[in-house]
Structure 1
Amino acid sequence: MMVKKDRVKALDVQSTWLQDYVNSSEKQKTLYKRTLLIVGLSQIFGGAGLAAGITVGAILAQQMLGTDSYAGVPTALFTLGSAGAAWFVGRLSQRKGRRVGLATGFILGGMGAIGVIFAAILNSVFLLFLSLLIYGAGTATNLQARYAGTDLANTKQRATAVSLSMVFTTFGAVAGPNLTEVMGKVALSIHVPALAGPFILSAVAYILAGLVFYILLRPDPLLIARAIEEKKQEADKQKSTKTSKPINNQRGVTVGATVMILTQIVMVAIMTMTPVHMKHHGHGLGEVGLVIGFHIGSMYLPSLFTGVLIDKIGRTAMTIASGVTLLLAGLVAAMAPSDSMVLLVVALSLLGLGWNLGLISGTAQIVDATEPSTRAKTQGTIDVLIALAGASGGALSGMVVAHSSYAILSLSGGILSLLLIPVIIWARGGTKENKIKVDQGF
């Protein structure tokens, strides 16, 4: 009996603080700003964990397998693992809120990184592949964290909110690859293979990112947004005799998802084989880390401006800009001499920028087209498709290079990015209402 009373009392207390936020726009604004800071802090760690593994994953597999044909498998595996994790984190966030979902995903990613370290020590390909699947949870969670900043953002803030959370990722993402040699020396000092060193950084960084969310993300912005939506629906019901149900804008969801999927395929395919291409032509780990550092910096640092531009100019124009930028990246990478560090830096920087434009404009469109009651689940499902696209790009990239060349891979990726233009043409088609929505930024 006492247990039941305590539970009722706890629910009453929860209802009270929840209503305080629902009824106060000032509290909502304060929580919105605080959420962006928490997401930003976690993204510093998450970016370091993501970038460190990307830098040496393909090289580690090449060394353990003794062939280039499967050098893209590590990227394919942790992106495939991230697909399952995206589904899991999205549904867990829908049920328990962003705090529990994101914390769980990051900690799983850290455990996967620890598994990769042991795989390198034991020279076990099976353990390597299994651990990379789990490591993918960190990749998925790092990507899904961007949604947390949009839960309490209004229509004109959504792309900016995504971009602000991604800016913080830059600090860790740039530091991760450039610590490759340092972490290699740390690994050797404790009798661990040098290529496993960056995964030591990944393990620590992902676990810290998870703890930041679990400890600090209170109250949960998604739960507040859902309560605000419920209040609005209740008010609408009282004004109208018709029962309104939240319905996703399917055209908006489809276009936003397609934009992110195409940009992910192109980016992952070219990025995955660049370290292997550089190693074949005499570049050291430090030079590989520098190029990947510029690439990942370009994936996130331009967010200082791109989010604002997307909110002001519109999703359509910036999606076209994404396709053109990725085309230029593919052309420069294909034509760059193998010994030219400058052109490789330019190509990979353009690749990162094109991905940034596509991801933020696509994400903003997904948030525009969904309601808080179903948003996390929809976002998780879409991130599954993005991860599978990345897995395909990573797996096929090694085979394309092995049977043709890095230049052919880069050129093919650039041409594929042009598909973003007919997608936007389709988005602008249809009813007059759809055209108006697109012109307003959808």
Structure 2
Amino acid sequence: MPRESAQTGASQGSAAVPGTRGRRENEASRLQRRIIPILVSGQILGGIGMGATLSLGSLLAAQLSGSNSWSGMAATMSTLGAALAAVPLARLAQARGRRVSLSTGALIAGTGAITAIISVGLGIFPLLLLGLMLLGAGSAVNLQARFAATDLSRPASRGRDLSIVVWSTTVGAVLGPNLFDPGEAVGAVLGLPPLTGAFAFSVAAQLAAAAVYAGGLRPDPLLTAMASRARDAAAAPRPQGGLGVLRSNPRARYAVATVALSHATMVALMSMTPVHLRDHGASLTVVGLTISLHIAGMYALSPLFGWMSDKAGRLPTILAGQGMLVVSLVLAGVAADSRAAVTASLIFLGLGWSASVVAGSALVAESAQPQDRPALQGVSDLSMNVSGAAGGALAGPVLAATGYSGLGLASLTLVAIVIVWTALQPRHTHREEEQP
């Protein structure tokens, strides 16, 4: 081939690549705009399903076991179920895509609600615990959905996309508990045992969520992102798996630890606040208002923190979140006898959790290649659930030994670890400019 022709061909080839890439970027942006509403809809339905049943779980546990001491097993089994489902659902996503993984998790949660209804009808306490554990898969789905929002997002909008899906959890969390009375009315019509009517709503909500994911996530965002990267690479890199990424990637270790430790801090203080308030004479109305304001802090401003993590950076947003956690814990430590201070502490606790988890999750999503992301995200969700369970379990003995003030000040240790680790991070965040 003449040199001039060869140069012309090379020039045309190099020009074609950006053109092809541009078309793929436009297609990915169009797909992303459609995927976010699908994920939001699934999150709302899933949140309704979880919120309508988890509070009743403790009542049913006490009823079937015959002892109030077993009531805490409802939350324990749900958390255990979420932890056990995290990695298998992540592996399913890696092999079959988000559509199959999220819809399967929702169906498992629906099966858990059915199992809980049957357990009450038969009066079998262990079967109730199994049902609540299966319901925990719904929490694992909610966590994975926030990562699904990042599969095709651009680095400059990754935090925002993730935070919108996190925010949508608020809708289900608020609506779900308000379905107790309607659930009992429906349950009476269906002939269900007392206190199980809301589980019928949970079954319907989880089935609807599964249908939304199965029907709406086409083409699958994760499979699309993985296929695009394979086309761009001369040879697609071999997947390392979640643990492999943690071993080889310091930024991934930091991101996963930040999410887990922030969650443990939040659960430790939040889980003991109702006990502390009741011991100091607060009414159930005050307790409920305090927890409601805390939940609002967790989710209501998450889009703001997502925007902040995109504009100011992941690390500054994480530091801001840790700063709010410090304010919360110091208030709990020095003003535990003031209901106003405890309420303010819980609000800052929710805000600090939100900023830290939104920015930390965005950092988890961009700390691995597309083919490794589901595995790393599964490990992150597993760590988050296990850390939360450990924080809640250890908070009780700490509260008994040192009081609410001691619990707040002791929890500062977890925040200090994240702050020091953040200070040791390189001040630039390498954002992988992958093409979807």
- Shorter-chain TM-score tier: 0.7 to 0.9
TM-score, scaled relative to structure 2: 0.81
User: What amino acid does structure 2 have at the position aligned with 1:142?
Assistant: N
Aligned twin of 2:43:
43
Is contact 1:70–1:395 with CA below 8 Å preserved after alignment?
no
Is contact 1:77–1:391 with CA below 8 Å preserved after alignment?
no
Q: Residues 165-176 of structure 1: matches in 2 within 5 Å?
A: 165-176=165-176
Q: Residues 97-112 of structure 1: matches in 2 within 5 Å?
A: 97-112=97-112
Could you tell me which runs of 5 or more consecutive residues in structure 2 were left unpaired when the two chains were aligned: 1-19
Is contact 1:160–1:308 with CA below 8 Å preserved after alignment?
yes
1:356 aligned residue (354, 357, 360): 354
Number of corresponding residues: 405
Separation in structure 2 between the aligned mates of residue 365 and residue 262 of structure 1, nearest angstrom: 15
1:418 aligned residue (416, 419, 424): 416
1:436 aligned residue (406, 424, 428): 428
Aligned twin of 2:294:
295
Aligned twin of 1:150:
150
- Alpha-carbon shift at residue 264 of structure 1 (Å): 1.5
Is contact 1:225–1:372 with CA below 8 Å preserved after alignment?
yes
Q: Say whether 1:231 aligns with 2:231.
A: yes
Deviates more, 1:129-138 or 1:294-303: 294-303
Q: Residues 69-148 of structure 1: matches in 2 within 5 Å?
A: 71-148=71-148
Aligned twin of 2:7:
none
User: What amino acid does structure 1 have at the position aligned with 2:312?
Assistant: I
- Alpha-carbon shift at residue 356 of structure 1 (Å): 1.1
Q: What do you get for the CA RMSD once the two structures are aligned? A: 3.3
Aligned twin of 1:431:
none
Separation in structure 1 between the aligned mates of residue 153 and residue 30 of structure 2, nearest angstrom: 11
Aligned twin of 1:3:
none
Separation in structure 1 between the aligned mates of residue 94 and residue 72 of structure 2, nearest angstrom: 33
Secondary structure at the counterpart of residue 436 of structure 1: coil
Change (3 A) 1:355 1:88: same
Alpha-carbon deviations, 1:368-412, whole Å to 9, x = none?
111111211221122112121122223334454456645544443
User: What amino acid does structure 2 have at the position aligned with 1:372?
Assistant: P
- Alpha-carbon shift at residue 88 of structure 1 (Å): 1.0
Alpha-carbon deviations, 1:322-370, whole Å to 9, x = none?
22222333344563548x4x55543333222222112111111111111
Separation in structure 2 between the aligned mates of residue 121 and residue 411 of structure 1, nearest angstrom: 45
Change (3 A) 1:203 1:266: farther
Change (3 A) 1:244 1:389: closer
Aligned twin of 1:8:
none
Secondary structure at the counterpart of residue 373 of structure 1: coil
Secondary structure at the counterpart of residue 351 of structure 2: helix
Alpha-carbon deviations, 1:46-91, whole Å to 9, x = none?
2223334454545554565576765543323211211110111100
Q: Say whether 1:383 aligns with 2:375.
A: no
User: What amino acid does structure 1 have at the position aligned with 2:254?
Assistant: V
Is contact 2:366–2:431 with CA below 8 Å preserved after alignment?
no
User: What amino acid does structure 2 have at the position aligned with 1:84?
Assistant: L
Q: Say whether 1:346 aligns with 2:344.
A: yes
Is contact 1:73–1:394 with CA below 8 Å preserved after alignment?
no
- Alpha-carbon shift at residue 299 of structure 1 (Å): 1.7
User: What amino acid does structure 2 have at the position aligned with 1:32?
Assistant: Q
Is contact 1:178–1:290 with CA below 8 Å preserved after alignment?
no
- Alpha-carbon shift at residue 426 of structure 1 (Å): 3.1
Change (3 A) 1:388 1:133: same
Secondary structure at the counterpart of residue 153 of structure 1: coil
Q: Percent identity?
A: 35
Deviates more, 1:67-76 or 1:35-44: 67-76
Aligned twin of 2:211:
211
Could you tell me which runs of 5 or more consecutive residues in structure 1 were left unpaired when the two chains were aligned: 1-19, 238-242, 429-434
Is contact 2:336–2:404 with CA below 8 Å preserved after alignment?
no
- Alpha-carbon shift at residue 40 of structure 1 (Å): 0.9
Aligned twin of 2:8:
none
Change (3 A) 1:118 1:267: farther
Larger CA Rg, structure 1 vs 2 = 2
Change (3 A) 1:439 1:30: closer
Separation in structure 2 between the aligned mates of residue 203 and residue 283 of structure 1, nearest angstrom: 33
Change (3 A) 1:102 1:187: same
Deviates more, 1:405-414 or 1:208-217: 405-414
- Alpha-carbon shift at residue 265 of structure 1 (Å): 1.1
Aligned twin of 2:327:
328
Change (3 A) 1:117 1:124: same
Alpha-carbon deviations, 1:242-271, whole Å to 9, x = none?
x96677561111011001110111222333
Is contact 1:140–1:387 with CA below 8 Å preserved after alignment?
no
- Alpha-carbon shift at residue 287 of structure 1 (Å): 5.6
Is contact 1:112–1:133 with CA below 8 Å preserved after alignment?
yes
Deviates more, 1:372-381 or 1:136-145: 372-381
Q: Residues 399-414 of structure 1: matches in 2 within 5 Å?
A: 399-401=397-399, 405-414=403-412
